[in-house]
Structure 1
Amino acid sequence: MKNYGLLILVLSMLVSCKGQTKKINGVSFVASRDAINQSHIDPVVEVNANYAAIMPFGFVKDLQSPKIVFNTERQWFGETSKGAKQYIEALRKNGIKIMLKPQIWVWHGEFTGYIKMTSEDHWKALEASYSKFILEYAKLAQELKLELLCIGTELEYFVENRPEYWFELIKEIKTIYNGKLTYAANWDEFKRTPFWGELDFIGVDAYFPVSDSKTPNVEECLKGWKAHVSVIKEKQERFNKPILFTEFGYRSVDFSGKEPWKSERSMNSVNLQAQVNTTKALFETFWKEDWFAGGFVWKWFHNHELVGGKDNFMFTPQNKPVEDIIRNYYNLN
């Protein structure tokens, strides 16, 4: 009997470990003007995704403005809490789990990591405005019993200058929402983010440079990842938290692995093979690791049949050869 009980214990541990190694195979589902229906969700299911990041937006006037405007009639439907709820409910009917990822957009497209106030009064006003913004979505996440909430995206100067606020904000979020938490740090920010110990995943927007070649091959991209992996793994071991790529992906352009974060439309030389090779290398580097939770490909539009394609030079994998690469790797994990 004693040996039988030990066998049961071992088997239960194996089942538990197997469940923990199931990857988050996600898409970053872009907000649109319209409600979504089953025709918009079928392509998500067909690419073997099991998660979607839903991304409502708040807007600030400029990098020194402390006021976040959100849930207005001027916003697209998918950018509001009402739209996010409709998207979530439609996706979940298809077995797709959700990361709610409210984001800030600076007018004129300036980088959110540079948001920085010029006075103590403005910092306090920003904190109050951001709390109102993110706590509304924490309530929505709790109401819908969502699996994962991302508490911010690429807000490095805000975090760097006001770390005490962020620790207190996380405590407040936890009084509202009892699911898993992460933060989406930029690829060169996550090393300095101070509050990983308070969250469930170390979130990284994974636009790491891996190759300077016009059309990088898989082997050189794998080599290019090695230095980054050691830094990522060090942070994972220090906090004993799994790594989650809150965003990952490459544009279908020349030199796609050189500065993957760039989105300028002046970079318009289509290179589908570069996108395929860089993406393969990322999957080969991370998806086999038990300390790696998975990630959300950037980015996925609702109107699948009208976007992407072989003449498209932006990030979306839709209707490009790389879509099959993602489908195959997501099917394995």
Structure 2
Amino acid sequence: MKLVSFVWCLILISCSGQSFEKINGVSFVGSREEVTQAHVDPLLKIHANYAAVMPFGFMPDPNSPELTFNTDRQWYGETRRGAKQYIDLLHKNGVQVMLKPQIWIWQGAFTGDMIMPSNEDWSTLEKSYEDFILMYAKLAEETKCSVYCIGTELDEFVKHRPEFWNNLIEKVRQVYHGKLTYAANWDEYGRTPFWDQLDFVGVNAYFPLCEKQNPTVETLTAGWQPWKVKLKQFSKDMSKPILFTEFGYRSMDYTGKKPWLVDRNKENVNLKAQADATQVIFDEFWSEDWFAGGFVWKWFIHHDRAGGYADNRFTPQNKPAESVIREHYAQVKKSKL
């Protein structure tokens, strides 16, 4: 069994083309302003070696082909110019970058439900999305980003237009020469058809774990087991490492029930549940050879006023979960995939 495991590890390394540091990343949220050294220092203090930089395109509704991006009306950090400034300063500090352009639909509608009403509209969206992704692929090449993510949670788009995605990946490969991934939702990755053309199986890891108000470490660990078995087998089947393109938990009661919730609900703040769930995901995955690492969702540049003990949302900043991340990232920073 040890020999089989060793051979499998060699296959994964061979497929990635090089030996990788385990990715200890954060999702570095774009802001209205330029990022400064004071904004990067807190990221360094938790020993993050990667950050996801996330410029945005915007759509008015899930059935509209109108994708607007890189305009003067957007926040600075969500534009090409802002993304480049963020990347340059992160690189200056030795932090590698996954560039991850994303779509935001008005009022936070789920991008995975995006369906166009006609072939004409699909073609319009495809042209606009290709321009969006290729523009940032060129930026990823220009700035030597280590990883480029070609899309995030676009299940229906992928399902309805598979040939477009095959062609898009080919075009991206012509302008960007680093590692590629796609950020599939937790219930989407198993049917995403183009993993063989990418370097990582990207998963936004909001798997439901349990329905407990105050989940214990034991309950959360048990909840991960069926998902972990499937992820491990999928990695083996694809001969690709799994990358958690997003992972994290809200600091609230029932944090393991529907980890994908982004609403402004008034569930009680539960800092221990967030910290425990974060510890469990590290314990379960970071030592696995088939697992590349991941990006905490999410990290704001203004650390001094982010999160805090009264906040029930995702960021671990200024909460016990931040200490969990710091301790773990310090331990495994030099671990190799």
Give the TM interval when normalised to the shorter protein.
Answer: over 0.9
TM-score between both structures, scaled by the size of structure 1: 0.94
Question: Counterpart of 2:213?
Answer: 214
Matched, 1:101 2:122: no
- How far is the alpha carbon of 1:264 from its aligned partner? 1.4
Question: Which residue identity lines up with residue 50 of structure 1 in the other structure?
Answer: N
2:5 corresponds to: none
When the two chains are superposed, the root-mean-square deviation of aligned CA atoms in Å is 1.3
Q: Which residue of 2 aligns with 1:8?
A: none
Distance (whole Å) between structure 2 residues aligned to residue 275 and residue 330 of structure 1: 17
CA distance in 1: counterparts of 2:132 and 2:21, whole angstroms: 32
Task: Structure 1: give runs of 5+ residues left out of the alignment.
Answer: 1-12
8 Å contact from structure 1 (residues 21, 290) kept in 2: no
Name which structure has the greater RCO, CA cutoff 8 Å, separation 6+. 2
Instruction: Confirm or deny: 8 A CA contact 1:55 1:79 kept in the other structure.
Output: yes
Partner of 1:110: 109
Read off the aligned partner of 1:310 and give its amino acid letter: Y
Q: Which has the larger radius of gyration?
A: 1
**SS of equivalent to 2:62:** coil
Q: Letter of the aligned partner of 2:200 in structure 1?
A: F
Following TM superposition, by how much is the alpha carbon of 1:22 offset from its aligned partner in structure 2, in angstroms?
Answer: 2.7
Aligned residue for 1:49? 48
1:234 partnered with 2:233? yes
Q: 1:129 and 1:232 mapped to 2: Cα distance?
A: 33
Partner of 2:27: 28
TM-score when scaled to structure 2?
0.93
| Percentage of matched positions with identical amino acids | 55
- Matched residue, 2:69: 70
* Number of matched pairs: 318
280-289 or 21-30, which deviates more: 21-30
Deviations 1:186-217 (A, max 9, x none): 00000110000000000000000112111111
Aligned with 1:214: secondary structure? coil
Q: What's the offset of the Cα at 1:231?
A: 1.2
For 1:63-212, what aligned pairs fall within 5 Å after superposition?
A: 63-212=62-211
SS of the residue aligned with 2:137?
helix
CA contact (8 A) 1:114 1:155 kept: yes
- Displaced runs of 4 or more, over 6 A: none
Deviation at 1:237, TM superposition (A): 0.8
Gaps of 5+ in 2: 1-9, 333-337
Structure 1 residue 310: deviation in Å?
A: 0.6
Q: CA separation in 2, counterparts of 1:191 and 1:49?
A: 29
Retained in 2: the 8 A contact 1:30–1:300?
yes
Q: Which amino acid aligns with 2:185?
A: N
Residue number in structure 2 paired with 1:315? 314
C-alpha separation between the residues in 2 aligned to 1:34 and 1:95?
A: 21
Matched residue, 1:276: 275
Could you tell me which amino acid in structure 1 is paired with residue 75 of structure 2?
A: W
Offset of residue 145 of structure 1: 1.2
